[in-house]
C-alpha cells in the first residue's frame, strides 16, 4: 500500500515531541513500508502535499497533527480515490475521537498502515465555500478559536480559560437561521454547525450527529442568565446539551445564517473573516477515510473496498 505521511512540526503536541518525526521514520523503515515522509513548511502546504500524493497514486495519506492539519490534508483529498488516515496530535482531535482513532501515536500508525482499519466514505461541509470536516461556527465559537490559536501552550484547560474570558466580553447577536422551510430569528451567543458529534476532547456539541447521513447539525445557543449558560459546560461532556432550553437545533443538508454585520467564522478551528450571510452545505460522502474496523460512527454500508483503486483522476 502506497502511503504518504504529512507531518506538521508546528502542531501543538508535535512542537513538544520533536522525536515523533524520527519515530515515524523508524516505523516506516522497520516495516519496509512503501511510504514517504514529508513535513509541512507553512499554512496551506499540507493541502499541496496531499494533492500531489493523491495524483501520484498514493493510496493512503496520513495527517500527523491537529485539527488544522487534518483540515488541510483533507482538502487535498476531496473527491479523489486516496484515503485519509489520522495520527491525532492536536489539542481537540474532534473528528479523530468521533471516529474512534487511538490517541497513542503507535496505535494510530498501526491503524493507518495495517489491517485494523477499513475505508469508508464520509460527509464534508462547506461554509461560504471553505471546506470543513468536523465543525464550523460563529460568535463565541469563532472568538474562542481566534484567541486559542494565538496561545503557545494549549490543551483543554487553556481552552476552558479562553472560553470563559471570551464569554464575559461577548454580546449576543441577532441571527436569522434558515433550513428548508424552517426559519428562526434568535439572539445567539454562538452558532455551531457540526459534521461529527463533538468539538474534541469528548465535548459533544451535537450529540448523535453522524458523518455518514448526508446532513449537518446546527446548534444555536441563546443568550440567557449566567447560571444557565454556565451549566452548558458540563452538559457538553455529559452528552445532553440538547436538554437545555437555551439550545436550538436544526438538522439538514443546507443552512443560511444571516447576522447583522460581518465577522469571524471558523472552520475546524481556523478563523476567517466572513460577511453577514453565511451559507453552509453538506457534501455527502466526498472524502474517503481509513477508520477503525470496529467504529460505529460510520455504517458498514458506507464502507468502500480497500486496496487498489479503480477510479482515475481527471
Mean pLDDT of 107-125: 93
Do 7 and 120 share a domain, yes or no?
yes
**At 170, which CATH number?**
2.60.200.40
Q: Is residue 309 part of a domain?
A: no
Domain count, the chain: 2
Do 80 and 183 share a domain, yes or no?
no
Do 95 and 209 share a domain, yes or no?
no
**At 300, which CATH number?**
3.40.50.10330
Range of the domain at 296: 3-124+286-304
For residue 86, give the nearest of 75, 70, 71 by alpha carbon: 70
Residue 69 has a pLDDT of 94
Among 60-74, 135-149, 201-215, 276-290, which stretch is predicted with the lowest mean pLDDT? Answer: 135-149
Residue 157 above 70 pLDDT?
Answer: no
For residue 123, give the nearest of 5, 215, 249 by alpha carbon: 215
pLDDT digit string, tens, across residues 213-254: 999 999 999 987 777 788 888 898 899 998 899 999 999 999
Residue 201 has a pLDDT of 84
pLDDT digit string, tens, across residues 50-101: 999 999 999 999 999 989 999 999 999 999 999 999 999 887 899 999 999 9
Q: Is residue 312 part of a domain?
A: no
Of the CA atoms within 13 Å of residue 73, those in its CB half-sphere come to 29
- Measure the CA–CA gap between 254 and 286, rounded to whole angstroms: 16
Mean pLDDT of 176-185: 95
Q: Confidence band (pLDDT; 50, 70, 90) for 307? A: very low
| Beta carbons within 8 Å of 198's beta carbon, 6+ residues apart | 94, 97, 98, 204, 205, 206
pLDDT digit string, tens, across residues 257-275: 999 999 999 999 899 999 9
User: Residue 86, exposed/middle/buried by CB under 10 A (0-12, 13-18, 19+)?
Assistant: buried
Do 111 and 146 share a domain, yes or no?
no
Do 151 and 275 share a domain, yes or no?
yes
CA 152 to chain centre: 21
Do 175 and 108 share a domain, yes or no?
no
Q: Is residue 295 part of a domain?
A: yes
Do 98 and 233 share a domain, yes or no?
no
Amino acid at each position: 500500500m502506497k502511503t504518504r505521511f504529512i507531518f506538521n512540526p508546528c502542531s501543538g503536541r508535535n512542537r513538544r515531541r520533536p522525536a515523533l518525526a524520527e519515530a515515524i521514520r523508524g516505523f516506516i523503515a522497520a516495516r519496509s513500508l512503501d511510504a514517504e515522509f514529508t513535513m509541512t513548511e507553512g499554512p496551506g502546504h499540507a493541502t499541496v502535499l496531499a494533492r500531489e500524493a493523491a495524483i501520484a497514486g498514493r493510496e493512503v495519506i496520513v495527517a500527523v497533527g491537529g485539527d488544522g492539519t487534518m483540515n488541510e490534508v483533507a482538502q487535498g483529498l476531496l473527491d479523489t480515490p486516496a484515503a485519509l488516515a489520522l495520527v491525532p496530535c492536536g489539542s481537540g482531535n474532534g473528528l479523530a475521537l468521533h471516529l474512534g482513532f487511538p490517541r497513542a501515536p503507535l496505535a494510530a500508525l498501526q491503524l493507518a498502515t495495517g489491517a485494523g482499519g477499513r475505508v469508508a466514505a464520509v460527509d464534508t461541509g462547506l461554509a461560504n465555500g471553505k471546506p470543513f470536516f468536523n465543525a464550523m461556527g460563529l460568535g463565541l465559537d469563532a472568538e474562542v478559536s481566534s484567541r486559542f490559536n494565538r496561545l503557545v501552550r494549549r490543551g483543554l484547560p487553556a481552552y476552558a480559560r479562553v472560553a470563559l474570558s471570551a464569554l464575559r466580553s461577548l454580546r449576543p447577536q441577532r441571527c436569522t437561521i434558515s433550513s428548508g422551510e424552517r426559519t428562526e430569528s434568535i439572539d445567539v451567543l454562538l452558532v455551531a454547525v457540526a459534521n461529527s458529534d463533538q468539538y474534541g476532547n469528548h465535548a459533544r456539541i451535537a450529540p448523535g450527529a453522524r458523518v455518514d447521513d448526508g446532513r449537518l447539525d446546527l446548534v444555536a445557543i441563546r443568550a440567557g442568565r449566567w447560571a444557565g449558560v454556565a451549566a452548558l459546560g458540563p452538559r457538553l461532556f455529559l452528552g445532553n446539551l440538547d436538554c437545555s432550553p437555551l439550545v436550538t437545533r436544526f438538522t439538514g443538508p443546507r443552512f443560511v445564517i444571516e447576522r447583522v454585520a460581518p465577522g469571524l467564522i471558523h472552520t475546524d478551528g481556523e478563523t476567517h473573516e466572513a460577511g453577514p450571510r453565511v451559507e453552509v452545505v453538506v457534501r455527502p460522502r466526498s472524502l474517503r477515510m481509513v477508520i477503525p474496523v470496529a467504529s460505529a460512527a460510520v455504517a458498514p454500508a458506507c464502507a468502500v473496498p480497500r486496496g487498489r483503486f479503480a477510479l482515475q483522476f481527471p
